[in-house]
A and B are shown apart, each in its own frame.
Chain A
Amino acid sequence: MSVSTTHAPGEELLLTRETPVQRRRVRAAWLFLTPMLLCLALVAAWPLLRTFWFSLTDANLADTGGGTFIGLSNYLFHNGSSWSGILVDPQWWNAVRNTLHFTVVSVGLEVVLGLLVALLLNIKFTGRSLVRALILIPWAIPTIVSAKIWSWMLNDQFGIINHLMLSVGLIDAPLAWTADADLSMWAVIIVDVWKTVPFVTLLMLAALQMLPSDCYEAARVDGIHPLKVFWRVTLPLLMPALLVAAIFRILDSLRVFDVIYVLTSNSSSTMSMSVYARQHLVEFQDVGYGSAASTLLFLVVAVIAMLYLYLGRRQLEVRS
């Protein structure tokens, strides 16, 4: 570990050794990392492996270790006459569709709104820091609480949203936001967008402030229209930060649980993959089946995360 050889062209081999200080620091580094690694192994790595294993068994919640190995039957199974398993469960595919629907719409809205708000708050004006602090409020409110507040505001009989829309004349009868199958997904999206736009705004603001100001001065001197400057200069320069924010949000949205659970509980029109998995795990006590659903969700997230890491590395390479 401490001795390695390096060879420069035309030179004799030399031993590259570490100083005692460096050796001690590397030893200390591993020692310092151990508690964290142990903790993550206990709460992340091991449970994940167990989940994979459960997905191949018929374990139930009362006795998770007592399941027997049944291969991939939780995923797909043919009993001679018909197929069963998650992959042919219409409920699961409904959950997948819902999750994707939710992710695409809410992340899209969040990124666009976040960028617009960031551009607005990037303008210098008196009271800017107060406004910045105030828009953080939705982010600080617990998801459960914001879901409750919004479900009160969206209440079909007494909700202020319906009241407003009625008095303006947008609708002529109150809408059942959280119960109506056509509207409930929109209700979920409204709440999620409200809560997470501040986060995206913050990232965008930070990125905006790192942009080189001389580009803009040059553009202004040349008399280029501000909109053109935005499309040609600002947006391309913001792209990396925008992508990071979008991927963070995509990963979060794919595992969405709290908002949906509280706002619309087990309604099938909003059920996400996480809600589906937890329902089978905890409510139906079918650990094997639920774990199989969790595993599938994990795989989807892993593929996207890998894509992100790959893109991130590519970007680093381009930059250097």
Chain B
Amino acid sequence: MNLRLLKKALLRLGFWCLIGVLLLYAVFPFYYAIVTSLKPSSALFEVSYWIANPDFSNYAAVLSQASFLRAIGNSLVVALCVVTLALFLSLTAAYALGRVKFRGRGTVLMMVLGVSMFPQVAVLSGLFEVIRALGLYNTSWALILSYTIFTLPFTVWVLTTFMGQLPHELEEAAIMDGASPWVTLTRVLLPLLWPALVTTGLLAFIAAWNEFLFALTFTLTDTQRTVPVAIALISGGSPHELPWGLLMAASVVVTVPLVILVLIFQRRIVSGLTAGALKG
């Protein structure tokens, strides 16, 4: 009897140890970035695990850099525009794909799925030409346009899944009431899709906020850069002397909003990710 109790206790202990290791593994690097960012440059090169005397000089330095603030602004504008554009385009498309039976529906869905698998670099040169032809090189519009290549397939796919789950009779009731497809979409289905829109919008926002390759290639000057590029290009006096404190402060500044969003909307994000991946 006692032996069984002991075994049980040991199992519990082992379990909680595993959870502890998991949490340490997941959270520690970000925590360590915060620790580093709160150190004055003099203390930077002594390894420490705790925040002893928080020093905000790195944050002050980062936030006083006009180009960094500008990059945050650019990232916000780009991400918000991409989300709006992708949601609008995919909402109507998801209605067509999720609620109407028509010939060619399967083909369109396959195409959308296919685009989502594109390696970005495969369209880089072609897209570069299009952007230059439209006169958008080195503007936020170049990024807004090009980001739809990875946000749009995803939002279409997820919203189609959510759209397909709404009851059939609801739409028939709207038809009996004399609603056109547009009215059905905007006044009957859309209000029911808000949770799904928030989820997909959030995921699209994160994807756009984090994008690097296009941002690096299609913008040239400091005033047009987005946050990931700005951070990647922070450099010190020599390649071997990166200003780590500053870098970590910048990293924390651009990541904290995302982390907070993720913690708040955790459940929604999970449903969105799994809807996109498993139900296809």
Contacts and interface: CB of A to CB of B under 8 A. Distances in A.
Q: Do chains A and B touch in the complex (CB under 8 A)?
A: yes
Contacts of B29: 138, 146, 149-150, 153, 194
B194 interface: no
A145 B255 contact: yes
A43 B130 contact: yes
B124 A37 contact: no
B92 A32 contact: yes
A309 B96 contact: no
B18 A157 contact: no
Contacts of B122: 48, 51, 294-295, 297-298, 301
A149 B33 contact: yes
A48 B90 CA distance: 21
A245 B274 CA distance: 10
A35 interface: yes
Interface residues of B, number: 93
A40 B152 contact: yes
A47 B266 contact: no
Interface in B101-158: 102, 105, 108, 110-115, 117-130, 132, 145-146, 148-149, 152-153, 156
A30 B263 contact: no
B129 A149 contact: no
Nearest to A55: B125
Contacts of A309: 110, 113
A251 interface: yes
Given A150-B29, A153-B32, A40 B111 contact: yes
Given A43-B127, A149-B32, A35 B92 contact: yes
Interface string B185-224: 1000000000000000000001001101100110000000
Nearest to B114: A305
Interface in A246-295: 248, 251, 254-255, 257-258, 261-262, 273-274, 277-278, 281-282, 287, 290-291, 294-295
Contacts of B93: 32-33, 35-37
A21 interface: yes
A141 B258 contact: yes
A181 B246 CA distance: 28
Contacts of A157: 45
Given A29-B100, A40-B112, A203-B273, A134 B95 contact: no
Interface residues of A, number: 95
A241 B278 CA distance: 7
Contact of B125 (A40, A120, A244, A290): A290
Interface string B261-280: 11100110110011001101
Contacts of A206: 270, 274, 278
A142 interface: yes
A140 B255 contact: yes
Given A64-B125, A132-B270, 9 more contacts: A33-B93, A46-B126, A134-B27, A138-B26, A141-B255, A142-B227, A149-B33, A198-B26, A295-B122
Interface of A: 21, 24-26, 28-30, 32-33, 35-37, 39-40, 42-44, 46-51, 54, 61, 64-65, 117, 120, 123, 125, 129, 131-146, 148-150, 152-153, 155, 157-158, 160, 163, 194, 198-199, 202-203, 205-207, 241, 244-245, 248, 251, 254-255, 257-258, 261-262, 273-274, 277-278, 281-282, 287, 290-291, 294-295, 297-298, 301-302, 305, 309, 312
